[in-house]
Chains A and B, each alone.
Chain A
Amino acid sequence: MNTSKSPATNRPLSPFMIGPYYRPQLTSMLSITHRATGVGLSAGMLFLACWLVAIASGPEAYAKFAVHVTAWYGQLILLGFSWSLLYHLCNGIRHLFWDIGKGLDISTAYKSGYAVVVVSGLLTVAAWALAYLR
């Protein structure tokens, strides 16, 4: 078989969803955000490890770590971490429903998409309200 003339070698590829080929849509933006928050959370696990190691290392190590966490940039990272976690969680539940074949039609996918944006935002506000107003 002549593989160089095989149709598999010049099979057209589906273009990446971000770029000139597709109009930005809520569904595709939520999809790439799911992936981005997932990768961000993987890096965030290092942050969690540092916190636990600091506690295990004693009061001096913990105080050094706490200085950065309570600073504005530390709080900003924590805000990003908490929203990423809650967004990935809400959108993950949406994915689990799709996995059992529910909510795959366009109108439901949009409704659940807006619900994910609203609920993840509200949960983030609730967590920070608990942290600051307690």
Chain B
Amino acid sequence: MSLRSPLGRARGLGSAKDGTHHFWVQRVSAVALIPLALWFVFSVANLPGASYEQVHWWVGYPAVAVTLVLLIASALYHSMLGVQVVIEDYVGHEGMKITALLLSKFFHFAVAAASIFAVLKIALT
């Protein structure tokens, strides 16, 4: 039994052992996504009617490709953190919770890897 008071524990890293890290990185990725998401929505809204070659050229244009990779990385990181909280809130059974958290992590990394690989392939070929 620990002799530390609840306040003493909270001042350390808390029961999850990572302190405010999750809270903080969710906000950092949120701030990064404000300009990235606005840029993405209005850029894609500008694409209808473009041919395959034009879309390919646009995605592969260096500044666009780099911004897309930044968007994909921050969006999937932010999404992974958010989905984690939703699972922790609603999935009560411990085994189901851990399974869901693992599946979510694998899903986010797989989607990020496929998206970033696609952008690099478009930009570099």
Which of A's residues lie within 8 Å of B, judged by CB?
35, 38-39, 41-42, 45-46, 48-49, 52-53, 55-56, 59, 62-63, 82, 85-86, 89, 92-93, 95-96, 99, 123, 126-128, 130-132, 134
Query: Looking at chain B's contact residues, is the secondary structure mostly helix, strand, loop, or mixed?
Result: helix
B residues adjacent to A (C-beta < 8 A): 27, 30-31, 33-34, 37-38, 41-42, 45-49, 52, 55-56, 59, 68, 72, 75-76, 79, 82-83, 86, 108, 111, 114-115, 117-119, 121-122
Q: Is the CB of A52 within 8 A of B45?
A: no
Q: Which residue of B lies closest to A93 (CB)?
A: B34
For A100, the closest partner residue in chain B by CB is: B27
20 A-B pairs within 8 Å (CB atoms) are namely A38-B86, A39-B82, A39-B86, A45-B79, A45-B108, A49-B111, A52-B68, A52-B115, A52-B122, A53-B118, A55-B55, A56-B118, A56-B122, A82-B45, A85-B41, A86-B41, A130-B42, A130-B46, A131-B47, A132-B48
